[in-house]
Copies of this chain bind each other. A is one copy, B any other.
């Protein structure tokens, strides 16, 4: 049971909260939002069963905080609808009363987009987790928003299809969240972005209107492609309730190579060669620097991949449908890059055990970093020429004050720059050493200050480093048209200034 008194008390505490989520302070609560009371809870009980309404702080705690323990809100209410109609009724009520709402999927985001900033109601999609349809001829799958990514992959595998999207959080992230954040990941190089692979969405608008754009057609040019508005807008324009997606045939032959390079120029050249020589079967081209490998060796049960240490490592994956052809292509490729002295060392894995072992180096970097202390994460798109320079610049800047590592999807120009310090909590001093320098550098080279993680609560004030004023103004117009009361995921994505 929530009382107004308690809310006000919490709110006062909040106003004194000096938490920093970046080099900027947490935004103040917008006092025009209603504070929920008993009548509201009673109303929600007419929409949802009591098990789908969480008010006990111990139940809510996990929803208020993100997985990195960097962002923490103070919501007193979690609603877990099971149907689109329930989502619609909840939003209609919230819009009428001007109650702020944060939609939450698997809560695996990196920028604080999925947790409340203050006392927004948390609308969790976890109870909407059914795969509704699959067409084995076209490969089109239709899922409810709360379906976990890995659940979809496991469902598709026996039918010879695969999701066109793979990321470290696959075991807990949800497809609705993936779509709302335009999640990128490892397979983007091969299958492209969700803007191409999502065929339709069903979404609920701020006023409760249900928008059925759940086409399952590969081609549909009837008017504006409205579904695109919900891909990557982080729940600020509507809440995605269902997704239809084209899934590609699952490759039957997968090979992985791990290569060590002497300098970043070699990495670049190997990338060019891989694109032209492996073309249609190249499915991942990932990059890690030596400090990443050291971190993984420290925190995971793995052995150094090669006898000699090298400054740079590439993980390359091919996926195809003919084992003989694929191995031949990969062997020829390896021979040619070795002959040209483009790598110092290299090893190929063709069976699933060795493939997993190779992938472990790449996939456990984030987890290993998490064990170090506070991690300052930056997800940048940069031209290949500047891709690694920023890591070196930051390393020089921090000297031995912090551990600076660089890894990422070099095939897509996407660098994950991570800076870790042994001490928690996050420190404004460290933030100030990183920001706005990292953003200025990125902007100067016409990169993106958020390649795949989104804007969330972390980056609205930095949006101008990647977007023009005219673009930001148009975003604000669209937001204002679609959510005039600004109830959907407030304080996020768009700068308030």
Contacts and interface: CB of A to CB of B under 8 A. Distances in A.
A446 B459 CA distance: 40
B493 A223 contact: yes
A201 B211 CA distance: 27
Contact of A215 (B139, B321, B448): B448
A305 interface: no
Copies in the complex: 2
Nearest to A453: B221
Nearest to A196: B196
A424 interface: no
A222 interface: yes
Contacts of A455: 221-223
Nearest to A459: B222
A456 B279 CA distance: 38
Interface string A202-232: 0001000111110111111111111011011
A221 B462 CA distance: 13
Nearest to A321: B279
B210 A470 contact: yes
Nearest to A182: B221
A181 interface: yes
Nearest to A480: B481
Interface string A353-383: 0000000000000000000000000000100
Interface of A: 137-139, 160, 181-182, 184, 188, 192-193, 195-197, 205, 209-213, 215-226, 228-229, 231-233, 237, 249, 251, 268, 271-272, 275-281, 320-322, 325, 328-329, 381, 384, 409, 412-414, 446-455, 459, 463, 466-468, 470-472, 474-475, 477-478, 481-482, 493-494
7 closest residue pairs by CB, A with B: A196-B196, A228-B228, A220-B448, A279-B321, A219-B451, A222-B466, A192-B196
